[in-house]
Chains A and B, each alone.
Chain A
Amino acid sequence: MNAVTEHNALTEPGAAGFLQRFEGLRARLPGRGLPWLEAMREAAAESFREQGFPTRRVEAWKYTDLAPLKEAGFGEALTPVDSAIPLPRAAAPRRVVFVDGRFSAELSDPDAPVRSLARHLDAAEGLLGSLARNDGVPLAALNTALFEDGALIDLADGEDGGIVEILSVVRADRPVALHPRHLVRLGAGAKLVLIERAWGHGESRYLHSPVLEFQVAADAHVTHVRIQQEARAGIHLSTVFAKVAEKGTYDSFLLHAGARLARAEAHVTLAGPFSAAHLDGAQLVGDGQHADCTTFLDHAAPDCPSRQTVKTVLAGRSRGVFQGKIHVHQIAQRTDGYQMNQALLLSDQAEIDSKPQLEIYADDVKCSHGATVGALDETQLFYLRSRGIPEAQARSMLIEAFLLDAVETVRDETARAALVEVVSGWWERTAA
């Protein structure tokens, strides 16, 4: 039996409930007896106690209200994993599966270069918490205090990790709160394509709040494709920290396609010259949903290119948020930055808030930015229908064209196919 025992009671609502949970669990959380980790958890809990959950008075949270999270209590997942759960089709040749936040050896491919963090915490010293900050990121602090398991990927210099999927499944039949922690380190020249899928099944409200830390050494290349497919009452709040050394790349694509309330936040630092990042994404936001893509990109070294294209499609009564901050440090001469965000509004009741933010302290810099918001083009729609294509299908074709244009930037074919599968037919499923 796992370290965490079964119990159904809900905590009280709000930050107090999560702190109460920490007090109740601390003696049984993985890593008990590792002084460095105990100290780290204590400090994180203390930081979360001071900060609480962000409110809309905090600038970075102006458009995303965590009220649905604060108003309810949450409980724990039941252990062990027993009932058979339906899983989505694997997107990559090798997949590891976490069920309700815990590694499932039974469902995972033993050949994947992924270990359970809970079972290898000794190997995580110096890596865990090397990038995640407590200050200003209370959700990361909460994760550090409460995480039970996650993926540990540590690639040696020159190692090719291939294409790997991490599937984190939530059985949403009770209001669970999950805080998985994934650590990824690529040695010099290493390579990895990581498809990270959050997937919920059930009708209950729940919180799924993963934190990922990526250390990308010189000349290493990582593609990180994130597919958020939470169940309809789920709350998804994820935070990524990445640091890229000289000539390394962090190419990421975020796809929001589920949850009632979703926010993905990324903090990426280009720390070495000629390092590069893609922070692309697409948000499919249907009636009653809220999706938020927030990124902080630090150009902290010279000669680095960065690219960001984020597309949002909104239907029904829904809200989308894009916040993209690019900070070009004084040392970061010859930065080449490009940012584009586009929204397609399919209803009068949909709303998009988009906030690009460029802070440039270097003088020899090329940074361009663009944004568009619009509805489907009536002329294009008529052109398709005049050829005999029914209206719903014509709309779907135009919406897909809008979205797939963003997905095109993902170079790995397997990762791209995984995205296309979710994007294709989204409108037909949504409108049905």
Chain B
Amino acid sequence: MLKIEGLRAEIDGKEILKGIDLEVPTGEIHAIMGPNGSGKSTLSYVLSGREGYEITGGSATFDGHDLLGMEPEERAAAGLFLAFQYPVELPGVGNANFMRTALNAQRRAKGEPELDAMQFLKLARARMKELSMPEDMLKRGVNVGFSGGEKKRNEVLQMALLKPAIAILDETDSGLDIDALKIVADGVNAMRGPDFSALVITHYQRLLDYIVPDRVHVLMDGRIARSGGPELAHQLEAEGYASVEAA
């Protein structure tokens, strides 16, 4: 279970997260919606350990691990995965090499044997087929020259290979056409199960037609302003965030 209590964080002295309380029980998928600039990406970065944020209060634990005291790679090994809103280009680092290195680093951390290049390729090809990704994306530099949709699919591919216990998807739907959106949603739904939870950050209710969440939270100005069932997403779509503010 992911448990966030009273979490506060600043960038350059400016408070962005102003006391967040949130619980995602194991096996559930929760959505976070909210206007631009409300702190959604900041929350995802703080949970995954990016530098540059000062945590001024509160806590975040996952299955009892104190996330905020861990290095990013330790959080990954503990089962946390972030699909970036803006996937990062790594010129000169081959996509296959990148993913195999990541997978083997995590296997090593868990005391599992590493995969050789052949074993990895077999695994990656199978997952790529499910995500309708052309095979040559393995040979290219990580995200280099990828279209917006390809980058997002590449994030989902990494998730499918790394099999996290909890995934944070930061606007993985933005910039996708409806076919790509369905592929991404299928990728997430395929992971659903009693041991997998997810925090799906989105701007639009559209994605939530395909990934139906157990709960929906609205983040406004660094706080969870409201929580509810899947119907909350529809209400927001119809009435806008102003209705939450008024409530």
Choose among A380, A386, A404 the residue that contacts B90 (Cβ–Cβ < 8 A).
A380
A397 within 8 A of B: yes
Choose among A379, A391, A397 the residue that contacts B88 (Cβ–Cβ < 8 A).
A379
A405 within 8 A of B: yes
A-B contact pairs, 5 of them (CB 8 A): A382-B72, A385-B71, A388-B73, A397-B93, A398-B93
Could you tell me the distance between the alpha carbons of A397 and B88 in the complex, rounded to whole angstroms? 14
Task: Provide the residues of chain B in CB contact with A371, threshold 8 Å.
Answer: none
Check B51 against A387 for contact (C-beta < 8 Å). Answer: no
Check B51 against A388 for contact (C-beta < 8 Å). Answer: no
Task: Provide the residues of chain B in CB contact with A394, threshold 8 Å.
Answer: 73
Check A388 against B92 for contact (C-beta < 8 Å). Answer: no
A390 within 8 A of B: yes
Asked whether A405 and B91 contact (CB < 8 A) given A385-B72, A389-B105, A391-B73, the answer is: yes
Q: 8 closest A-B pairs (Cβ-Cβ)? A: A401-B92, A388-B76, A387-B102, A383-B88, A385-B72, A388-B106, A388-B105, A405-B92
Asked whether A386 and B93 contact (CB < 8 A) given A391-B73, A393-B101, A397-B101, the answer is: no
Task: Provide the residues of chain A in CB contact with B72, threshold 8 Å.
Answer: 382, 385-386
Could you tell me the distance between the alpha carbons of A337 and B82 in the complex, rounded to whole angstroms? 44
Could you tell me the distance between the alpha carbons of A404 and B102 in the complex, rounded to whole angstroms? 20
* A interface: dominant SS: helix
B49 within 8 A of A: yes
Check A389 against B88 for contact (C-beta < 8 Å). Answer: no
Could you tell me the distance between the alpha carbons of A384 and B49 in the complex, rounded to whole angstroms? 12
Q: Which of B44-93 touch A at CB < 8 Å?
A: 48-52, 71-73, 75-77, 81-82, 84, 87-88, 90-93
Could you tell me the distance between the alpha carbons of A405 and B81 in the complex, rounded to whole angstroms? 29
Could you tell me the distance between the alpha carbons of A400 and B91 in the complex, rounded to whole angstroms? 11
Check B50 against A388 for contact (C-beta < 8 Å). Answer: no
B96 within 8 A of A: no
B220 within 8 A of A: no
B109 within 8 A of A: yes
A402 within 8 A of B: yes
Check A385 against B101 for contact (C-beta < 8 Å). Answer: no
Q: How many A-B residue pairs have CB under 8 A?
A: 73
Q: List 10 additional A-B contacts (Cβ < 8 Å) besides A385-B49, A385-B73.
A: A378-B51, A383-B90, A384-B90, A386-B72, A387-B73, A387-B102, A388-B105, A397-B101, A405-B91, A405-B92
B202 within 8 A of A: no
Could you tell me the distance between the alpha carbons of A246 and B76 in the complex, rounded to whole angstroms? 58
B42 CB, nearest partner CB in chain A, Å: 14
Could you tell me the distance between the alpha carbons of A388 and B162 in the complex, rounded to whole angstroms? 9
B158 within 8 A of A: yes
Task: Provide the residues of chain B in CB contact with A391, threshold 8 Å.
Answer: 71, 73
Task: Provide the residues of chain B in CB contact with A383, threshold 8 Å.
Answer: 84, 87-88, 90
Task: Provide the residues of chain B in CB contact with A380, threshold 8 Å.
Answer: 88, 90
Of A378, A379, A383, the most chain B CB neighbours within 10 A belong to A383
B141 nearest in chain A by CB position: A401
Check A388 against B88 for contact (C-beta < 8 Å). Answer: no
Check A402 against B92 for contact (C-beta < 8 Å). Answer: yes
Chain A 108-126 interface mask (CB, 8 Å, partner B; 1/0): 0000000000000000000
Could you tell me the distance between the alpha carbons of A412 and B159 in the complex, rounded to whole angstroms? 38
Asked whether A389 and B93 contact (CB < 8 A) given A380-B88, A382-B51, A383-B88, the answer is: no
Check A389 against B71 for contact (C-beta < 8 Å). Answer: no
Asked whether A388 and B158 contact (CB < 8 A) given A380-B90, A397-B101, A405-B92, the answer is: no
Could you tell me the distance between the alpha carbons of A388 and B112 in the complex, rounded to whole angstroms? 14
Could you tell me the distance between the alpha carbons of A394 and B48 in the complex, rounded to whole angstroms? 16
Q: Which of A342-389 touch B at CB < 8 Å?
A: 378-380, 382-389
Choose among A386, A397, A405 the residue that contacts B48 (Cβ–Cβ < 8 A).
A386
Check B51 against A401 for contact (C-beta < 8 Å). Answer: no
B50 nearest in chain A by CB position: A382
Asked whether A387 and B84 contact (CB < 8 A) given A378-B51, A401-B90, A405-B91, the answer is: no
Task: Provide the residues of chain A in CB contact with B109, threshold 8 Å.
Answer: 388
Asked whether A393 and B105 contact (CB < 8 A) given A379-B88, A401-B90, the answer is: yes
Check A386 against B76 for contact (C-beta < 8 Å). Answer: yes
Task: Provide the residues of chain A in CB contact with B76, threshold 8 Å.
Answer: 385-388
A389 nearest in chain B by CB position: B105
B109 nearest in chain A by CB position: A388
